[in-house]
Structure 1
């Protein structure tokens, strides 16, 4: 069975037959997702959450996540996601006079309580998708506006999240990098998420860590790798989790720093 990912604008249907698909993702827009079948494991660097079949999750924008998609035995992983981009939220804000009044410090991942209306909406949206009805962008836009209003009915204060159009403010670069060093993203993404231009990010980074971002990231990732290898982990099991693109690059960098290949650390 092949894997599919149907992207109909801001509504995306995913279907995978593989046992698992691991990766990482920058969540640039708020996302409402319906887990149709299988499990999705999400990790933000500190916490791991499992989204099980039938659950509905809301991901806040501007965050980094690692994910593992697990299909049910002999079946397919299926999910339906609605991306609530800034433009459609601004349109809804103007149309209905909805504004953010305060900063909400919610967790980055919210599981919605069992709400019959939202569950029925997601089931109907899935039927629209499977029948090809959502190829009409006018209908897709109406359905997205509908679910925004349903979300606000369930949690009126969610407007303080949905209609907060501010970009990330300047935050503690040391705490942020120690949490997120293992995400394999460009420096400009790290800069944006810490509320800085790339030039300011590099300057502030060297003041705090005494190294360039590139050197510090490589050193930090390899130090963590050394620790995990001593604990009995295999190089093939950890290199992706630590932000390396391939095993050969990881092994080369590790040997250059420590003078030994990863396999030698395991055997000592």
Structure 2
């Protein structure tokens, strides 16, 4: 099972000339991004977010997302991102006395379109020389830029401290509800376990108690059921739904689909 993960490597630049759906990712750290060109569509289990050229966004840590990168007509898709890792934020919190004061992050605040602010956009553009030439950025310099990003976010939107300085790990939540909302994310079981506030062993035990089958078997059946519905009832093509429902490649999806339903998904679509 795949586990596509954003690598919290400080400052990154993304450039694509063709449409790219990179499947799903587990986001381990907060990400501040600036949309230089093209359109980015982000889906989590609850909502779809669309970002166009000039938009700034903050993606909150510890969540599962899917995204689609669409370049403009006459050029590449481009984004510039800086990752705000927990060590930097904890040190900043200790130095300046910032801390989260609310009991949690409101629903819908996992992906945030930030307000237009000249400081924010000027800062993001100042990062371009660090990535355009593909040069290695000294770790201490990256730390300074991360701290600068935090200061600018707090000045432009002070309420973001409730997200940036919330250092709690995921608590134990309703496993059945979580899995029914997130089954289409193709990540390792340890990610599902972590996000539901469980060890892997406890996750497997609780899962089998609730669903009366193993996680891997349930995930396969649930994904195939969703794919069957999308193809038969919604008229979708197999090539369009296999990634959406959590499969890594079309051939594996087709084999599993035929084994479960006795007919190839391409025949059902026809």
* TM-score computed with the length of structure 2 as normaliser: 0.91
Worse-matched range after superposition: 207-216 or 121-130: 121-130
SS in 1 for 2:127: helix
SS in 2 for 1:236: helix
Cα deviation for residue 229 of structure 1 reads 1.2
Contact 1:182-1:243 within 8 A present in 2 as well: yes
Q: Deviations over 1:118-137 (max 9, x none)?
A: 11111222244436787233
Worse-matched range after superposition: 207-216 or 31-40: 207-216
Kindly report the root-mean-square deviation, in angstroms, between the aligned alpha carbons of the 2 structures.
1.8
Cα deviation for residue 92 of structure 1 reads 0.7
Worse-matched range after superposition: 93-102 or 245-254: 93-102
Cα deviation for residue 74 of structure 1 reads 2.5
| Residue 268 of structure 2 is aligned to residue 265 of structure 1 | yes
Q: 1:18 to 1:132 in 2, by over 3 A?
A: closer
**In structure 2, distance between residues paired with 1:11 and 1:62:** 19
Cα deviation for residue 103 of structure 1 reads 2.7
1:15-26 counterparts in 2 under 5 A? 15-26=15-26
**In structure 2, distance between residues paired with 1:204 and 1:248:** 32
What's 1:237 paired with?
A: 240
Q: Deviations over 1:167-202 (max 9, x none)?
A: 100011111111110010011110000000011111
**In structure 1, distance between residues paired with 2:133 and 2:148:** 19
**In structure 2, distance between residues paired with 1:19 and 1:189:** 27
Higher relative contact order (CA 8 A, sep 6+): 2
**In structure 2, distance between residues paired with 1:123 and 1:8:** 19
SS in 2 for 1:103: coil
| Residue 165 of structure 2 is aligned to residue 156 of structure 1 | no
* TM-score computed with the length of structure 1 as normaliser: 0.92
**In structure 1, distance between residues paired with 2:133 and 2:263:** 56
**In structure 2, distance between residues paired with 1:258 and 1:22:** 28
**In structure 2, distance between residues paired with 1:115 and 1:252:** 51
Worse-matched range after superposition: 91-100 or 121-130: 121-130
Q: Deviations over 1:229-263 (max 9, x none)?
A: 11211111100111111111111111111111112
